[in-house]
Amino acid sequence: MAFSLSDMLKSLSGGRNEGSVLGIDIGSSSVKIVQLRPSRGAAILETYGEIALGPYGQQPIGKPVRLGPEVVGSAIIDLMKQANVTAKTGGISIPFSSSLVTILELPKVDQSTLKQIVPIEARKYIPVPISEVALDWFVIPDEEATDSAFDQLKPKTPKAATQEVLLVAIQNATLNSFQTITTESGIHVDFFEIEIFSAIRSSLSHGLAPILIVDIGASSSKMYIVERGIVRLTHLVTAGGAQMTDVLARSMNWEFEKAERVKRERGLVADKAYSSEENGRINEALLSTLTRIFSEVNKVLLSYGQRYNKNVSRVVLTGGGASLPGLSEEAKRSLNAEVEIADPFSRTEAPAFLNSVLKDIGPGFAVATGLALRKLRGK
């Protein structure tokens, strides 16, 4: 499954690809790609596309699959052809499940000493030898850390000088696999980025208040609380869009393919093609998974509020599952916070007649768009 708007835009862009960049999001059930081009300070959306990985593993569309890097590389080549991609450079996302993101509170020391301390502290969080992972860290500036989550743990009293360090780690085996994918697909990758940061870049505007991003994927749902632009908390739930489809298929005695189609087209919105009883059963099946996800979201909201004495200002839903029809209304009823659906394509320019389509599919392209924006902006 792939779709493209490059043909529609050729008359507007003249078919040029000077400076065009790619963002490639490799998920468990599909690969998504976005191609952007800079123009007078704006990001021009040249093309985008999605291809299901299920058929490459003899599984239906929408099913999560484990494929070798060579097969994934072949799927990317197919997607680039179908979406008429012309750029050859960009970034690729690393799954949250294959990485570690956490904040360390360490003594305030110089950079050389910090380089020795961070790997030692990292061992407390990483279940494999440090030699088997790529580590990186970022010292959160004092002005960012002022009145931060950690300052809320107890009354402000004199304490030893400390600093907050954002630690990220990725297994070398994961990086090697992704490098094989890029080689197979013929793409020059300038950087790999954990999907959290790509989604934040395309889904959030600058702000100080804590915000919870809920990324509903095919095989899992990821939750990140972001405060002052810094990831403060992460949480993973092994429930997502594919589980919704599985439950719906069993409940209605349908094949997975039909259940996936009905989920995507109908979602939680009643359809006259079904009786009131059938509509009820469809909603009940989909909500069985969503209720679990929303319950975890509320637990994260409550835990963060109790621990840090701060309320999350709003919840932003992203990922392919956030395009489920009727999801926004159900989320607003179920979650103890304001809710909005991510609109990453709003940070790009495209013909106005595509606005509604891009808004509908946008949540699923948050990571790919965020990757391309990073490459475009050079940061």
Structural domain boundaries of the chain? 6-93+175-196+343-377, 97-173, 211-340
Instruction: Calculate the CA 159 to chain-centre distance.
Output: 37
Judge whether 6-93+175-196+343-377 and 211-340 match in fold.
yes
Reported in sequence order, the residue ranges of the chain that DSSP labels E, i.e. its strands, are: 21-26, 30-39, 42-52, 89-94, 99-107, 133-139, 162-171, 188-194, 211-216, 221-227, 230-237, 314-318, 338-341
Q: What share of the chain is helix, strand, coil (3-state, %, to 5)?
A: 45, 25, 30
pLDDT digits (tens, 9 = 90+) for 205-245: 766 789 999 999 999 999 999 988 888 889 999 999 999 99
Pick from 285, 291, 274: nearest CA to 249: 285
CATH code of 97-173, in short, is 3.30.1490.300
More confident residue, 91 or 153: 91
Stretch 289-308: mean pLDDT? 94
Mean pLDDT along residues 270-289: 94
Sign of CA dihedral 256, 261, 267, 272: negative
In 10 A of CB 113, how many CB atoms? 12
- What's residue 160's pLDDT? 58
CA 143 and chain centroid, separation: 28
Locate tokens 């065009």: which residue?
20
Tell me: pLDDT of 377 over 90.
no
Average pLDDT value for residue range 246-266: 96
**DSSP letters along 295-324, please?**
HHHHHHHHHHHHHHS----EEEEESGGGGS
Percent of the chain residues topping a pLDDT of 70: 89
* Whole-structure pTM value: 0.87
The fourth-level CATH superfamily of domain 6-93+175-196+343-377 is ATPase, nucleotide binding domain (3.30.420.40)
Q: Residue 12: pLDDT above 50?
A: no
Name the token pair of 297. Answer: 């979201």
* Per-residue model confidence as pLDDT tens digits over 35-81: 999 998 899 999 999 999 999 999 999 999 999 999 999 999 999 99
Residue with tokens 């004495």: 309
User: CATH for 211-340, among 3.40.50.2300, 3.60.21.10, 3.30.420.40, 1.10.10.10?
Assistant: 3.30.420.40
